[in-house]
């Protein structure tokens, strides 16, 4: 075994940590932009006056939740180049992840909005509130509290999802691990490290999600 | 846009996709079915009175749920040969997916078991049922009814997630696509067609789970 540790140097660890930073950056990008998309999708799916907005949002959610993320990445990645768009790789990689986030978080937003009791909305309307006021003062306070635990839980899914950027050769944590394992032959050590880094990112999020959910249930 | 689409490439290769889709179904069905047994065992371990059992099961579940399937797959694929076990890529895929699925199902089953009120178990025991009978009739059967919808979504998640096993060259739907792609270079058309196949499969299974949930499980409940 000692030759493994000679081949595997601190530079490899730095390379893995760089990969981890790319993974985190991808997640941050997908989560922040995806959230905006998700708010739009959630509002469309619960539209009251413009009910026709419900079905395109529903179709969108069904498509992205009913197909593998791997395929979404392939299609977005190669589709963008067919369209003749020469985007930086980080942006090209973010697009499928943003769309994916929009669909899953969109459902979380919808569930949050639907968690607001009907009577409260009606009370607001009968007080002469506009749709904007209704959202701001009646829907948001309850909906956001309901949305937070599953959203944090979704972040875990997203971090794991970014590992699929591996398939188009984008160097994030998994691809970095693969490269190091091919050059050092310390395969088990490398993938143990890679797994440990993912665990280090995801586990606190999982715990936070569980805690937040427990707290929410106690308050309810 | 100057790209000329060649949709005849996926259309002419539908039989290959069909066999790929069957392999995908086979992998996912096996993973969920075996995973379910792991899950029942681990759920009981997580609720047992022995701390060591509880910790071991919790560690398994948390490690699997907080690392990507792709990394688990590589770990098993490269790791098994180092301890002298040589399996085909297909078997490794089933093995890794089963482990993965087992962890997710554990949480589902645990939630199901915890949804059964303690009084039910005590009532069973006071009627003179053995612990095994109580487990089987009072806990397991009603639990299965409660956990049916999340289990069905887990099956669909596994079905979609199994596309990842193409990366260790296990032969299933996505791999069939990659193989064709390496011969024809029609990446977009091929993966678009495959995405449609996955979508149809996931929709069919969510409809099936809805129907069976309504019919079978309500009926079973009436007969118990």
Say whether residue A101 is in contact with chain B using an 8 A CB cutoff: no
B163 part of contact set with chain A, CB < 8 Å? yes
Within 8 A of A195 by CB-CB distance, chain B residues are: 63, 67, 71-72, 75
- Nearest-Cα distance to chain B for A121, in Å, is 30
Q: Which residues of B touch A163 (CB under 8 A)?
A: 68-71
B63 touches chain A (CB under 8 A): yes
Q: What predicted TM-score, i.e. pTM, was given to this entire model?
A: 0.90
Residues of chain B scoring pLDDT < 50: 219, 221-224
Å between B126 CA and nearest CA of chain A = 33
Q: Quick one: average pLDDT of A139-146?
A: 90
**Does residue A122 sit at the B interface (CB-CB below 8 Å)?**
no
pLDDT, tens only, B59-77 = 999 999 999 999 999 999 9
Banded model confidence at residue A9, pLDDT cuts 50, 70, 90: confident
Structure tokens at A173: 């944590």
φ/ψ of A75, rounded to 5, equals -65, -45
Structural contact between residues A61 and A103, judged by C-beta atoms closer than 8 angstroms = yes
CA distance A116 to A122: 11
A79 contacts on B by Cβ (under 8 Å): 188
Please, which residues have CB within 8 angstroms of residue B81's CB and are 6 or more apart in sequence?
A: none
Instruction: Please give the pLDDT value at position B94.
Output: 95
- Using pLDDT thresholds of 50, 70 and 90, give the confidence band for residue A3: low
Q: Could A187 and B188 be called an inter-chain contact, meaning their C-beta atoms sit closer than 8 Å?
A: no
Which secondary-structure segment (H or E) carries A33?
A: helix A10-45
Average pLDDT of A195-220? 91
With b for 16 or more beta-carbon neighbours within 10 A and e for fewer, the B75-92 pattern comes to: bbbbbbeeeeeeeebbeb
Does A4 score more than 60 pLDDT?
no
pLDDT at residue B223, rounded to an integer:
41
CA B71 to chain A, closest CA, distance in angstroms equals: 7
pLDDT (0 to 100) of residue B222: 43
Q: Which pLDDT value is given to residue B108? A: 92
Residue B104: other Cβ atoms inside 10 A? 22
Interface mutation vs chain B, best among A23, A63, A66, most B CBs within 10 Å: A66
Contacts of B195 in chain A (CB under 8 A): 67-68, 71-72, 75
Contact A102, A34 (CB under 8 A): yes
Q: What is the pLDDT of residue B224?
A: 38
Tell me the pLDDT tens digit for each residue of A43-95. 999 988 888 999 999 999 999 999 999 999 999 988 988 888 888 999 999 99
Q: What pLDDT shows up at residue B220? A: 52
Query: Does the distance separating the beta carbons of A199 and B160 come in below 8 Å?
Result: no
A156: chain B residues, CB-CB within 8 Å: 65-66
Q: What is the pLDDT of residues A159-190, one digit of tens each?
A: 999 999 999 889 999 999 999 998 888 888 89
pLDDT of residue A6: 58
CB contact, 8 Å: A71 with chain B?
Answer: yes
Which residue out of A70, A182, A186 would a mutagenesis test of the B interface target, given it has the greatest number of B Cβ atoms within 10 Å?
A70
Q: How far is CA B54 from CA B47, B50, B104, in A?
A: 7, 6, 16
Average pLDDT along chain A:
91
- Write out the DSSP string of B27-51: HHHHHHHHHHHHHHHHHHHHTSS-H
Is residue A1 pLDDT above 80, yes or no? no
pLDDT for residue A2: 52
Mutate to test the interface with A, among B67, B77, B186 (most CBs of A within 10 A): B67
Query: Closest residue of B to A169, CA-based?
Result: B167
């Amino acid at each position: 075994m000692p030759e493994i540790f000679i081949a595997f140097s601190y530079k490899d660890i730095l390379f893995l940590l760089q990969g981890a930073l790319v993974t985190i950056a991808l997640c941050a990008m997908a989560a922040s932009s995806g959230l905006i998309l998700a708010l739009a999708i959630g509002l469309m799916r619960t539209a009251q006056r413009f009910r026709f907005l419900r079905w395109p949002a529903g179709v969108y959610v069904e498509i992205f939740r009913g197909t593998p993320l791997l395929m979404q990445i392939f299609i977005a990645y190669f589709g963008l180049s067919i369209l003749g768009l020469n985007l930086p790789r980080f942006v090209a990689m973010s697009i499928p992840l943003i769309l994916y986030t929009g669909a899953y978080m969109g459902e979380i937003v919808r569930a949050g909005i639907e968690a607001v009791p009907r009577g409260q909305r009606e009370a607001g309307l009968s007080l002469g509130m506009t749709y904007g006021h209704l959202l701001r003062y009646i829907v948001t306070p309850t909906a956001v509290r309901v949305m937070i635990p599953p959203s944090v839980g979704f972040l875990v899914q997203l971090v794991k999802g970014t590992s699929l950027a591996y398939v188009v050769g984008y160097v994030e944590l998994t691809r970095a691990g693969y490269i190091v394992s091919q050059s050092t032959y310390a395969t088990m050590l490398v993938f143990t490290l890679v797994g440990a880094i993912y665990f280090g990112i995801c586990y606190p999020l999982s715990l936070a999600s569980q805690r937040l959910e427990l707290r929410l249930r106690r308050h309810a | 846009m100057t790209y000329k689409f060649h949709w005849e490439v996926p259309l002419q290769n539908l039989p290959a996709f069909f066999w790929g889709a069957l392999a995908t179904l086979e992998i996912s069905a096996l993973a969920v079915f075996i995973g379910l047994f792991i899950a029942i065992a681990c759920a009981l371990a997580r609720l047992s009175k022995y701390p060591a059992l509880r910790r071991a099961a919790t560690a398994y579940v948390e490690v699997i749920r907080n690392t990507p399937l792709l990394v688990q797959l590589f770990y098993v694929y490269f790791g098994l040969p180092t301890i002298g076990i040589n399996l085909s890529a297909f078997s490794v895929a089933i093995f890794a997916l089963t482990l993965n699925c087992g962890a997710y199902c554990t949480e589902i089953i645990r939630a199901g078991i915890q949804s059964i009120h303690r009084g039910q178990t005590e009532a069973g025991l006071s009627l003179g049922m053995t612990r095994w009978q109580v487990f089987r009739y009072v806990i397991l059967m009603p639990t299965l009814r409660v956990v049916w919808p999340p289990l069905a979504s887990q099956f669909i998640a596994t079905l979609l997630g199994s596309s990842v096993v193409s990366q260790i060259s296990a032969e299933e739907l996505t791999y069939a696509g990659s193989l064709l792609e390496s011969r024809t270079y029609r990446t977009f058309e091929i993966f678009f067609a495959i995405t449609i196949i996955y979508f149809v499969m996931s929709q069919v299974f969510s409809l099936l789970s809805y129907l069976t949930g309504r019919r079978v499980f309500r009926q079973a409940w009436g007969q118990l």
